[in-house]
Amino acid sequence: MSFFSGLETSLLSTIQSIYDAWGWFGVAALLAFENATGIMPGEIILGLAGWMLIEAHQLPPAMIFVGGFYTAVGCAIGASVTYWVARLGGRPLIDKLVRWVRMNPSHIDRAEAQFQRWGAGLTLFGRCIPGLRVLISIPAGLARMPFLTYFIATFMGVYFYSTMIIGAGYLVGHEWPLVVAYGKQAMPYLITAGIIALAIYAILYFRSSLQKFFTVRADEK
């Protein structure tokens, strides 16, 4: 398990360096990138911010709400990038990006269907739902939701969600070693499950491709 210990140490060291150098601006920048790409663990960034930037410096709990403001600005800026990509590029561009990142298109379809049903309300409350909170920018852009309405709804939803996670980090961040210990115990099982899932996906993907290939060849004959 030394590899995971080294990974944990490297992750904490990198984040700590960013926080020491840039403070809440560093948190906002990381979350802007996370909301624009969806490839960073936003909850970990927020939780560690509550611990490293507030609790570790013995700052008053009121700083949780100040930190929530900075993170909400960063998230709203990053989410706006995704919004404008969807709005300007339309569904053809989104479909290309979905294929490139190997995302199931049905996720976008479901998010779009929910947006058509709930509109701005989903933009607001969807920011508090893991998995949906990044995707919701896409149907909002595709539907050409007024940008000011989108930005305000995004900011409000993200502020509420970020403040909760920062507060949780402030309260239990010092228990990080205990959380990591449980994570290390579960890691072998998670890796095994991930490998099995990837193997099943590869089998199904290539089987489908081979079936299409042989069907085309048969039709040509």
Q: Is residue 203 one of the residues assigned to a domain? A: no
pLDDT by residue for the chain (221 residues), tens digit each? 444 455 556 667 777 788 888 889 988 998 898 888 777 777 788 888 888 888 888 888 899 999 999 999 999 999 999 899 988 988 888 777 766 655 666 666 676 777 777 777 778 887 877 767 777 888 888 888 889 989 998 999 899 888 988 888 888 766 655 555 544 454 455 456 556 755 665 565 556 555 554 554 555 55
Residue 19's CB: how many other CB atoms inside 10 A? 21
Please give the pLDDT value at position 66: 92
pLDDT of residue 182: 46
DSSP letter string over the chain?
Answer: -HHHHHHHHHHHHHHHHHHHHHTHHHHHHHHHHHHHHS-S-HHHHHHHHIIIIIITTT--TTHHHHHHHHHHHHHHHHHHHHHHHHHHHHHHHHHHHHHHTT--HHHHHHHHHHHHHHTHHHHHHGGGSTTHHHHTHHHHHHTT--HHHHHHHHHHHHHHHHHHHHHHHHHHGGGHHHHHHHHHHHHHHHHHHHHHHHHHHHHHHHHHHHHHHHHHHHHH-
Is the residue at 187 inside a domain?
A: no
| 2-22 vs 176-220: helix crossing angle, rounded to 10 | 110
pLDDT reported for residue 73: 93
Quick one: pLDDT at residue 117? 73
Structural domain span for residue 136: 2-175
Contact, 87 vs 144, CB < 8 A? yes
The pLDDT assigned to 183 comes to 46
In a domain, 102, yes or no: yes
Neighbours of 194 (CB within 10 A): 10
Answer whether residue 77 is part of any domain. Answer: yes
Round to whole Å and give the CA distance between 68 and 158: 8
In the chain, how long is the greatest CA-to-CA distance? Answer: 76
Helix 63-100, helix 24-37: angle, nearest 10: 30
Indicate the Cα dihedral angle 183, 188, 192, 198, nearest 10°.
50
How far is 126 from 149, CA to CA, in rounded Å?
15
Q: Evaluate whether residue 101 is within a structural domain.
A: yes
Would 180 be classed as within a structural domain? Answer: no
Question: How many structural domains is the chain composed of?
Answer: 1
- 194 lies in some domain: no
CA pair distance 90, 141, nearest whole angstrom: 8
pLDDT the model gives residue 155: 92
Q: Is residue 217 part of a domain?
A: no
**pLDDT confidence of residue 187:** 45
